[in-house]
Structure 1
Amino acid sequence: QAIENQLKICGYRSNMDVLALYLARLGLRSIPSLSQFRRLRYLWINDNKIQDLTFLIKNYSLTELYLNNNQLTDVSGALKHLCSLQILFLHNNELKNLGKTVKELKGMISLKTLNLFQNPLAYDPDYRLHVIHFLPSVQLLDRKLVTPRERESALHLFNPKRAWVMQSIAFGQRGETALGTTVGSGRGTQPARRPVMPSGHEFGNNTNKVPFEDPEDAVLVRAMTRSLMEFSSVDWNKVGTCQERRLKDKAEEPPEKLTVQFR
């Protein structure tokens, strides 16, 4: 009855015309299937007594969904198909399992705004960082902007291996040196073997072009004209902070740096 009244108020002539439904603050405990509204994009069901969301099974076009202030205890299997959602309000419900709730929302790659506060799951000590890490598209969480520092902290907490790799890579640059450049760590490095240029061929000499007897020589010459890609990494755990350096009496040895070159 509430849905029919809303359709009359809005003057919709057919189900395909329905883009928005406002069913908030009606004391509803359940809602019949809304699958007939295939183009429904905006849905307000907040401030009711809803306990399950099975009526949303075929509303794939939803972009904004307001489910706050209800009696939801679990959303597993009810929302993961809503891949177009951009705004989702679930605050002030009874959601308890943080892992299951976040897993349900993982497929929402367009989700920008999410509210989960005033749920039991929000009292998890790592709640905010958990959501930020596993739902990277979210930019506004519980009415607070997600900061780069929070994303970095979440990465260190939930994916320390990747965080270590990103931290250990000091820089990447294009090397202008030839293959004979020293390659290796910063201490006790050995010069790499320098390829010998085939006789009778010089770079930039357009008047003296001697055909190569060995095709591999031609490949070598072409390779020598290309620039190198050089990556260096440092173990930052062994590099002292500014305060540690000031407290030390003796000079600190330079950190060991590993440099790798490739084409």
Structure 2
Amino acid sequence: TMYCQAIENQLKICGFKRNVDVLVLYLAGQGLRSIPSLARFHRLRYLWINNNKIQDLSFLVKNHCLTELYLNNNEITDISGALKHLCVLQILLLHNNQLKHLSRTVEELKGMRSLQTLSVFHNPLAQEPGYRLFMIYFLPSVQLLDRKPVTPRERESALHIYDRERSRVVQALAFGERLGTPLTVSTARRRAARPPAALARPAGCEFGDHTNKVPFENPADAVFLRAMTRSIMEFSSVDWNKVSTCQERRLENKAEEPCEMLTVKFR
């Protein structure tokens, strides 16, 4: 068959005599419509099957060592149940196929913690509103999506859209570099400018035998109180280039000026 001939040609070109030695397999542009199981190449790491007419990916079920997989320019309509086991995959190209279900596709890829490069453009699912931010939020390890780097601003936007509660807490506790465009007005910083008012606990929350254990009526108050009771961290630094050595002090014979120390405190 066409597949067997393509495999044999590759083995001859690369000089492989044992299946266990095959780490790379190039089957691109062979006009293949289907491929039998590649289980005999269980150490396979790099696989090119792009520019064919492949629709079914069940032949990959035993190839757990794949780190790069090129499936672009085929006729794939669904990847459910075909790629989830590829936990060490780093590069996956799926553009120019017929993938239609965004949620199914993301669900299949969510377990790939090492996935860094992903392309799914020129598929019907890429036309769905919010497609890019959806992919960014649910696939946090991806650094390059559809040939474009994932930016911190996109991650912030995705977090705000798909996890509003977490986004609110992150903003309330954030310190250091200011967000590009705050999604909400930070109340923690505004309150810190004046002594915080006493936070009233609702009746029945004295941590006795009561069943109601919620300490604050407003969750934002609990978050703010936790932030204000954190330990204070302090860092000090000195520019030692401006401090005279013992020899310099003896030669100059003058009073030593006190060195300047920069101290930074934060919670």
- TM-score by structure 2 length? 0.66
Sequence identity percentage: 67
- Find the residue that maps to 2:229 and give its secondary structure: strand
- Measured in 2, the distance between the counterparts of 1:131 and 1:123 equals 13
Q: Give the C-alpha shift of residue 186 in structure 1.
A: 3.2
- Measured in 2, the distance between the counterparts of 1:54 and 1:80 equals 11
1:69-80 paired onto structure 2 within 5 Å: 69-80=73-84
Query: Match of 1:65?
Result: 69
Name the structure where helix makes up a greater proportion of residues.
2
1:144 to 130, 144, 148: 148
- Measured in 1, the distance between the counterparts of 2:60 and 2:42 equals 10
Q: Give the C-alpha shift of residue 9 in structure 1.
A: 1.6
1:29-178 paired onto structure 2 within 5 Å: 29-169=33-173, 171=175
Change (3 A) 1:142 1:262: closer
Change (3 A) 1:163 1:11: same
Alignment of 1:186 with 2:195, yes or no, is yes
Change (3 A) 1:171 1:113: closer
- Structure of greater Rg: 1
The answer as to whether partners of 1:170 and 1:234 remain within 8 angstroms in 2 is no
- Measured in 2, the distance between the counterparts of 1:55 and 1:6 equals 18
Q: Give the C-alpha shift of residue 153 in structure 1.
A: 0.2
CA offsets, 1:162-205, max 9 Å, x none?
00111122559xxxxxxxxxx9x835559xxxxxxxxxxxxxxx
Query: Match of 1:23?
Result: 27
Q: Give the C-alpha shift of residue 5 in structure 1.
A: 1.8
- TM-score by structure 1 length? 0.67
- Find the residue that maps to 1:114 and give its secondary structure: strand
Change (3 A) 1:188 1:35: closer
Q: Which stretches in structure 2 are left out of the alignment for 5+ residues?
A: 177-191, 200-218, 232-267
Name the structure where strand makes up a greater proportion of residues.
1
RMSD of aligned residue pairs (Cα, Å): 2.4
Q: Which stretches in structure 1 are left out of the alignment for 5+ residues?
A: 173-182, 191-232, 236-256
Alignment of 1:261 with 2:265, yes or no, is no
